[in-house]
Structure 1
Amino acid sequence: MAIYQPDSWSEDHSPQPSMSGYYPLEVVRDDEHPGPSAPREDPSPLSRSPGQKRKRECSTDSENEELEEELVGPEPKDIWVVESLRGLKTRLKKQRVSSVLPEHHRVFTRLLEDPVIRNFLAWDKNLRVSDKYLLAMVIAYFSRAGLFSWQYRRIHFFIALYLANDMEEDSQTPKKNIFSFLYGESRSQRPLFHKLRYQFVQSMGWRTRVSREECEEIQAYDPDLWVWGRDRTLLPYSSRHCGGPRSST
């Protein structure tokens, strides 16, 4: 059986694609002179009429401009920004868009009417488990869990508050206080609580860090909500546990 051998000339001299995928462009200028072995079709540049030379240059320039526009694309248009207005400088500030929706605030406000949650907040007089920053983190977690507003129940409030204390408090006492209030001395319900907590964190994509700035933005949505008055710094020094959650970046 005959074996096909590619032509050596076509393999050596065929144009090879560049790294960008385009074949290299061959540019011919009028001031270049071919080598001794290359024949010249027009030995005298004076034999061309000025009109022919000008026509060729114009055609080349037009083709190059079209090719450059095709490869590079159109130039970006200028964007005008107001620098000043009647001599007063206008300063623009980049503002972060909060991921917390109004529905998450409404869910939180609805759960505050739950009698068990009300009793819990009244029981935590020293705000060791439920100060305003930890409660703001509950709303942040609601926004990240991705549940429908009607799906949130009392247990989700305590799970989110447990996570907030786990993230911001160095002591295990606040988390034990949540169990003590919910289940007393019984430990039978704790495995189920931790199972639900794991599922809740997983639904958040393990994003449990909440910055102090985000907590303050959450509180500013409805600054007159009564739970935002739960400020540890306003308590007597002997009743404080700490000054609030640590600021995170």
Structure 2
Amino acid sequence: MKLKKQRVSSVLPEHHEVFNRLLEDPVVKKFLDWDKALKVSDKYLLSMAIAYFSRAGLFSWQYRRIHFFLALYLANDMEEDNQAPKQDMFYFLYGKSYAQRPQFHKLRLQMVRSMGWNTRVTREECEEIQAYEPEHWAWKRDRTLIPPEHQQTSEA
């Protein structure tokens, strides 16, 4: 008889707390409300953001709104092919100004480096993250439950 090896999540409770705190940020809330089709913020992409918080190694008090968007942008880089909804994140961060985009990409690269280039997050890891607080509203953001006629990209 083989015993299945149990993986212990590397995501600490404080990373879940940071995530929950950032979900209360008014800009993050507005962005999540805007993404009704869940093109850039479904439950798996949000789970990946928590995994990235864990891997980046910052203290929980250091995380800000920008880190949420950096992690979510990176998750979309890894999992999604559509660039347009990802670009809409900039609108929520910077309005119509393009001036801050190079700085954003510089910070994104710094985040990836701080994670030791470890950007792959498995579905199992996402599900472990969601299992920490299974009734959280963010885990109800399931793209597969959206009727096809509502899956068009939203306008920012």
TM-score grouping bracket, smaller chain normalisation: over 0.9
Matched residues, percent identical?
74
Alpha-carbon offset, residue 211 of structure 1 = 0.5
1:86 corresponds to? none
TM-score (norm 1): 0.59
User: Structure 2 regions of 5+ residues with no counterpart?
Assistant: none
2:25–2:65: 8 Å Cα contact kept in structure 1?
yes
Secondary structure of the residue that 1:166 maps to in structure 2?
A: helix
TM-score (norm 2): 0.92
Answering whether residue 82 of structure 2 is matched by residue 181 of structure 1, we say: no
2:27 corresponds to? 116
User: Structure 1 regions of 5+ residues with no counterpart?
Assistant: 1-82, 84-90, 242-249
Q: Distance in 2 between matches of 1:226 and 1:240?
A: 20
- The RMSD of aligned alpha carbons is 1.4
Alignment of 1:73-84 (within 5 A): none
2:116 corresponds to? 205
Q: Distance in 1 between matches of 2:146 and 2:12?
A: 31
1:135 corresponds to? 46
Secondary structure of the residue that 2:6 maps to in structure 1?
A: coil
2:27–2:92: 8 Å Cα contact kept in structure 1?
no
* Higher RCO, Cα 8 Å, sep 6+: 2
Answering whether residue 74 of structure 2 is matched by residue 163 of structure 1, we say: yes
Answering whether residue 16 of structure 2 is matched by residue 105 of structure 1, we say: yes
Q: Distance in 1 between matches of 2:38 and 2:149?
A: 12
Q: Aligned match of 2:101 in 190, 215, 227?
A: 190
Alignment of 1:1-249 (within 5 A): 92-240=3-151
Instruction: Give the length in aligned residue pairs.
Output: 152
Secondary structure of the residue that 1:105 maps to in structure 2?
A: helix
More helix by share: 2
Q: Which has the greater radius of gyration?
A: 1
